[in-house]
Structure 1
């Protein structure tokens, strides 16, 4: 593994209002001790078994997906050698069953990797958020649970801001800014290990012959290892590789977009732009880039004041009604 710069840190005790504090952040930040008072964390500080037993007391039998990977892959959830499939298996499961399987593997060495991926906390462990509370934003927020033993999740980005809280075990986060996308050799957009496109580079053993530009990315990497009670804020669109290294690990994620719910997903707009613009002649692409800058990216451009108000339409500020009009217009054009 290459050396990375440390991620900036602060102590939770220095934060007066977490919602206000997070709303002001634009760079990754480790917050030590943010969840130290959670019962789940206090159990984890005693032992992996205590942490597992605590969560088992809240778990239910609601259907979930679990994932397993043979020990030979050392917990790296990825594609198979020829990209015809994945190197792990998916299972119809429930959290109680997952925890029972993990209990049997806690004392084993060289065990297969097993984890339950991002699942709404209150769906699979009702009452967890009440007993282990944290309020991070006034925006709509998805709280999800990750449970497993050792695992390595390839570098990817999320469309939303992310506060990840380690509730048991240890996790190492390795981050890179969005502008390193060209140096990360990103895989397919539509066939992915877990929904998000991933870097094909194995951060623990990078192949510089196959991925020479990754050497440039290394200079921009930041990394931190978190223990029970620690949290990390990862801004939207920052690349992050995550390794869980303990026999039993629990991560609680809070995801939110700093935008109203009626706005669309920017990733969908990017896909449509690939379809419509990517293979145009360069001269045309440059002109469309100018139009995108005018209508989308330039905050200081006044789009509507020179138009009579009744006729401004979607040039005006976007509210819920305007968002519906844009969706309707898109559907009409896509259905032609």
Structure 2
């Protein structure tokens, strides 16, 4: 059922660590960055946070998405889905915030959005001046723009996103709602992961009737400067940003770089989806036996360790055997 997220006090670092370790549900982390110098600058006004970022600009150009006024800040496909409704420009941080200040109050202002820039590449001292009190092992990424709406999408890594300036509303859906979210193209995406075709701010229930069920399960988080949200992997989230100059930093962490679940899905779509029902059913039993079933980790207990091969327990040697087997199998056209 739809509702608001559970909350953790930003000062309770142990509780946040336990929540992240469980990796089951998202949560608001209220006030975790309340003492950041960047948040203090944001509370002093648009000019102050603009000056803070400009003073730390190392001159590297950012990729800035520019949406015309008629898009209402929603970065998305064109109506015919042959392209996107925005263009991109290059400019350093100082030029971006100067332009955002100049656009304040303009009735026909375009939407500007620079997203997912590692802070060492734009505002190098940010992370040391504004430390997250939980060690994620990664550098933060910074997102700067004016009012925008980002279509529901997911991350394959865990995510802690901290609002620095402006306000943000996150609307989340559990991974199980994928069938009710009308996912768009998986290989030709807007800016990364596949997105839902539904606009949660203005849902077209006639066109997307199953979305009504997704709405029953949505969770909403309204965040102010200094607040954060923790999202486990694969949770869908729509993000609406308000304000003439809003800033967020996020930390994607915990994703193994030697695992390729989405590639495995694509290969399964290619190899299994169009098989006759009886064969697909047979392959479902294989996947349950070796991947998803409760006994998958014990599926080869009857074999001595030296005979388990690619079915054996995790190890660098086992992983190398799996990759070599898949690559060799594909190169041979499936004959070996």
Same fold (TM > 0.5): yes
Structure 1 residue 90 corresponds to structure 2 residue 82: no
1:29 positional shift: 0.3
How many angstroms apart in 2 are the aligned matches of 1:57 and 1:71? 29
1:202 positional shift: 1.3
SS in 1 for 2:286: helix
Kept after mapping to 2: 8 A contact 1:170/1:226: yes
> How is 1:296-335 mapped onto 2 (pairs within 5 angstroms)?
296-301=291-296, 302-335=298-331
- What is aligned with 2:29? 31
1:79 positional shift: 0.7
Could you say if the C-alpha distance between residues 224 and 17 of structure 1 is closer, same or farther in structure 2, counting changes exceeding 3 Å? closer
SS in 2 for 1:212: coil
User: Which of residues 81, 101, 106 is equivalent to 1:103?
Assistant: 101
Kept after mapping to 1: 8 A contact 2:5/2:219: yes
Segment of structure 1 superposing worse, 245-254 or 297-306:
297-306
Could you say if the C-alpha distance between residues 135 and 326 of structure 1 is closer, same or farther in structure 2, counting changes exceeding 3 Å? farther
1:253 positional shift: 0.9
- What is aligned with 1:159? 156
Give the TM-score, by structure 1 length. 0.93
SS in 1 for 2:217: coil
Task: Give a deviation string over 1:206-252, Cα, whole Å, max 9, x none.
Answer: 11111111111111111111010000011111110000011111111
Kept after mapping to 1: 8 A contact 2:67/2:110: yes
1:18 positional shift: 4.1
> How is 1:146-295 mapped onto 2 (pairs within 5 angstroms)?
146-257=143-254, 260-262=256-258, 264-295=259-290
1:6 positional shift: 1.1
1:136 positional shift: 3.6
1:58 positional shift: 1.2
Kept after mapping to 1: 8 A contact 2:8/2:16: no
Structure 1 residue 56 corresponds to structure 2 residue 58: no
How many angstroms apart in 1 are the aligned matches of 2:140 and 2:269? 31
Give the TM-score, by structure 2 length. 0.93
Kept after mapping to 2: 8 A contact 1:98/1:115: no
